Structure 1
């Protein structure tokens, strides 16, 4: 998934996802060339984890 697609699902600005990536929080991401991508399963798992315990972040 692209940064834009994840931002729409999580309902946060793209800049917030970039900041979370910088901090090492948020859904797991990876790079393909210069593009940042996310696995849909990783995003959904992250949302599930956050819904149960939003304070328990790595």
Structure 2
């Protein structure tokens, strides 16, 4: 049985090990320190990390979130 990721561990996801569970929109908002509505706007506009539906719930694969961050970082470096 796995223990759930603590909220303080969520930002560490972006820097190191990935949790062994799919992330919720609340997790994403906390990680990026943005309002939850911003996460939903990203999804509607297809500008944030890619999410997927499980029934009526939206979830995010930690590997996709990490790839999104890497892509954003490389885009910023190319623009500089």
- For structure 2, the residue ranges without an aligned partner over 5 or more in a row are 1-22
Query: Alpha-carbon deviation of 1:3?
Result: 0.5
Match of 2:57 in 1: 35
Q: What is the TM-score of this pair, normalised by structure 1?
A: 0.84
RMSD: 1.0
Q: Give the paired residue count.
A: 54
Q: Provide TM-score, normalisation by structure 2.
A: 0.63
Structure 1 runs (4+) deviating above 4 angstroms are none
Structure 1 unaligned residues grouped into runs of 5+ = none
Structure of greater Rg:
2
**Structure with the higher fraction of residues in strand conformation:** 1
